[in-house]
Amino acid sequence: MKFFADRSVRTLFALVFAALALFTVLTLWMVQRAGASAVLPVLGLAILFALVLLALLVWYFRRQSRLIDKAIARIRAFLAGDVEARIDSDEEGELYRLFHEINAMAAILGAHAENEANARAFLKDTLSDISHQLKTPLATLGIYNGILQEATDDPETLREFSALSEQELDRIEALVKNLLTISRLDAGTLVFKREPQMLSEMMGSLERHFAFRAEQEGKTLRFSGEKDVTLVCDRLWILEALTNIVKNALDHTTAGCTIAVNWRRFGQIVQITVRDDGSGIHPEDLPHIFKRFYRSRFSLDTQGVGLGLPLAKAIIEAHSGTVEVDSALGEGTVFTINFLIPTEL
């Protein structure tokens, strides 16, 4: 019976049984020795037994009352904000089972409260970052607009500042697009169309996308890998992630540098690496490069908003992949992306 799982209940019944047994033995002994004259001693013994039984019951219920008072105090502490408050539930018994369930519920509520606090802090920081990121291009657009209004008779100035205004608008559009994508990834509402894709074909598309820019900036792009490697993924989104990583390499290298993209399969892993021989990432920045809106004070890129790499990481992880970075100052940087190929049953 679950009732007897409580050690204090077992102790209570053991003491009552022992007292009852002792009372029975003494009663039989007195009747045997004194016969009819044993009535008064037996009555006295019965009263003593009743008092002992009453004392045991008082002890038991006072003990239970103290346990419940302690539990109420811990619950009130939790409700007052002490999310670490827990009820002692190390012993056996129904009451301790109840305490254990309350502790489990408190742990869940505490985790939810922590997640909510983190979400509020993240939202606050994100809104602050968005405000900061939009403030600069909007202020720049205001300046350009003033210049354009004053230079209505100068076609060259009009063309120049119209082009600059378009760049700032593109920057705002990219910021909003990346924010919306990351938000959909966070919410789990972005649906991927996973199909087998030839990596060599995807890499060819990526190379063509950046070929003109690399040539204009005097940089070398090298793409190489196994032709028969396939990856089950959403082609457009994986290309988006790889585009951001290659773009990051181009943004942070100078003329004469080489960006090498390689891919291969070994075992149950498809691996893609993006390597450059640029100046490398400063050790101060390395732990933070996948944080949203993070901008390095050592960066060569003055136009980025700090969302490209976080977005790439989110897309890759949504495809059950991992991305790591290794860098050394003066030697270059390598991004390593690994995708696990599911084992066919």
Q: What is the pLDDT of residues 33-49, one digit of tens each?
A: 666 565 666 666 667 77
**Domain end marker among 144, 165, 187:** 187
Tokens standing for residue 281? 């990432």
Q: How far apart are CA 99 and CA 83, in angstroms?
A: 16
Provide the 8-state DSSP code for 296: -
Note whether 251 and 301 are within 8 A (CB).
Answer: yes
Provide the 8-state DSSP code for 91: S
Q: How far apart are CA 296 and CA 286, in angstroms?
A: 10
Confidence of residue 6 (pLDDT cuts 50, 70, 90): low
Q: Are residues 234 and 152 in the same domain?
A: no
CA distances from 182 to 29, 40, 131, 186, 227 (A): 87, 89, 17, 6, 32
* Amino acid identity at 193: K
Q: Are residues 269 and 295 in the same domain?
A: yes
> Tokens 């100068």 appear where?
154
Q: Are residues 122 and 9 in the same domain?
A: no
Please tell me the predicted confidence (pLDDT) of residue 276. Answer: 94
Q: Is residue 287 part of a domain?
A: yes
Q: Give pairs for 289-292: CB < 8 Å, separation 24+.
A: 289/325, 290/323, 292/126, 292/129, 292/182
Q: Are residues 244 and 301 in the same domain?
A: yes
Q: Are residues 223 and 155 in the same domain?
A: no
Q: Are residues 51 and 119 in the same domain?
A: no
Q: How far apart are CA 337 and CA 274, in angstroms?
A: 9
Q: How far apart are CA 151 and CA 148, in angstroms?
A: 5
Count up the domains in the chain and report the number.
3
Question: 141: domain range?
Answer: 112-187
Q: What is the pLDDT of residues 270-308, one digit of tens each?
A: 999 999 998 888 888 888 888 876 666 655 555 555 678
Q: Is residue 78 part of a domain?
A: yes
**pLDDT of 74 strictly over 70:** yes
CATH number at residue 321: 3.30.565.10
pTM of the model: 0.57
CATH number at residue 158: 1.10.287.130
Average pLDDT over residues 71-82: 80
Q: Are residues 214 and 332 in the same domain?
A: yes
* Amino acid identity at 217: E
Percentage of residues in the chain having pLDDT higher than 70: 69
Total length of the chain: 345
Q: Backbone phi, then psi, for 333, in 5-degree steps?
A: -135, 145
Average pLDDT over residues 111-127: 72
Between 154 and 104, the higher pLDDT residue: 104
Q: Is residue 59 part of a domain?
A: yes
Q: Is residue 102 part of a domain?
A: no
